[in-house]
Amino acid sequence: MAATSVAVFFGGPSAEHEISIRSADSLIGWLSAGGLAVGAFHLRRDGRVGTATFAPLTAGDGEATALSRARPASTHSWGGALESLAGGKFDAGFPIVHGTLGEDGSLQGFLATIELPCVGCDVLASALAMDKQKTKSLLMATTELRMPRGETIAPHEAADEVGLIARLARLALPLIIKPVDGGSSYGLSRVTERAGLPVAIRLALGVEGSTGALVEEQVVGDEVTCAVIGDAARGIESLPPILIRPHHGGMFDLEAKYTHGATDEICPAPLPPSTLARIEAAAKAAYRAIGCRGFARVDFILADGVPWFLELNTLPGLTRESLFPRAVRAAGLELPALFRRLVEDAMHGSRARAKAAR
């Protein structure tokens, strides 16, 4: 019997292009180690699609060189890539395109159109979670989660600096500014004086793919994150929360996130059981409210034992330094087995939805 075949999509047009490549390298290794055949679809910056195929790993193959085993790879227009996706060659699609195109529901919609089961969140959940302000609005209406006060600034509003400062006067300093729809801490900054707001907002708006800047009151506390997985057989499960403490004592910014040894990422977080339970319950509440499936990661600031919601990531990073794989291992799970399980759940769910539609 032929191995289940998965089309992995990575790259994309956003500032997170290189992070996505690193995530794909890990993911392809784990999927292959789980006995799955993999097709790689690299969404290049020039608009073309690079493709390659991987057989399941055999004894002696290493995970770390997954993408290097793609040579030689071919390059297509989207039409050519569509031909290779059609005809039942693949059993499921797995987007790991962080940011624009992959995390905003676009790829999920494409996969639905060609009737290829999609691993992870669907179009609606992806699009909602991509916009941090819309996510907060929904959670405010449907949950009891705490979250910082904030405002979203559209690009056309940034030119009126005087009006901008006046509009944000209701928010207490210090303020955290970041793209409303970006990740990996690109464009993130902290402002302690209102005169610094215009520059910080322009920085957030200048991130590739950014459609707005989110300005929030800073909640003082430790950053924690909690991964959640869900499938039809086991329901929704939280993984051990991770306590994040950058060595420089500041924010969990791009440097702290991706510089080896720059941050202590302690998993399981050394917190009281009641606090851990509160974090896990909050993460599952956000996951349910957004309508997630598959896997996600929810970020909080922990202040006086209370988790304050920051954002929900429907395609969390899967690099060697990323938080989601660390939480999986801390839970005693094997990454190849987990991702195989999520692929099989996506295939099962797609068949069930198709049957119900008939």
Which residues are catalytically annotated? 16, 184, 258, 297, 299, 311, 313, 317
Looking at this protein, which amino acid is placed at residue 122?
Answer: D
**335 φ, ψ to 5°?**
-60, -45
Q: 187 vs 12, 62, 72, 160, 316, CA distance in Å?
A: 18, 35, 36, 20, 18
Between CA 260 and CA 181, with CA 339 as vertex, the angle to 5 degrees is 60
Q: How many CB atoms lie within 10 A of CB 305?
A: 12
How far apart are the C-alpha atoms of 49 and 294, rounded to whole Å? Answer: 26
Tokens of 240: 């051990």
Distances, alpha carbon 333 to alpha carbons 128, 172, 177, 327, 329, in Å = 29, 42, 36, 9, 5
Q: CA-based Rg of the chain, rounded to a whole angstrom? A: 20
Peptide bond into 241 cis (omega under 30): no
Q: Which residues contact 341 (CB under 8 A, 6 or more apart)?
A: 231
Structure tokens at 101: 């195109």
DSSP string covering 56-108, please?
A: PP-TT--GGGTGGGG-S-EEE-HHHHHHHHSTT--SEEEE---STTTTSSHHH
Q: Cα(356)–Cα(354) distance, rounded to whole angstroms?
A: 5
> Is the distance from CB of 28 to CB of 54 less than 8 angstroms?
yes
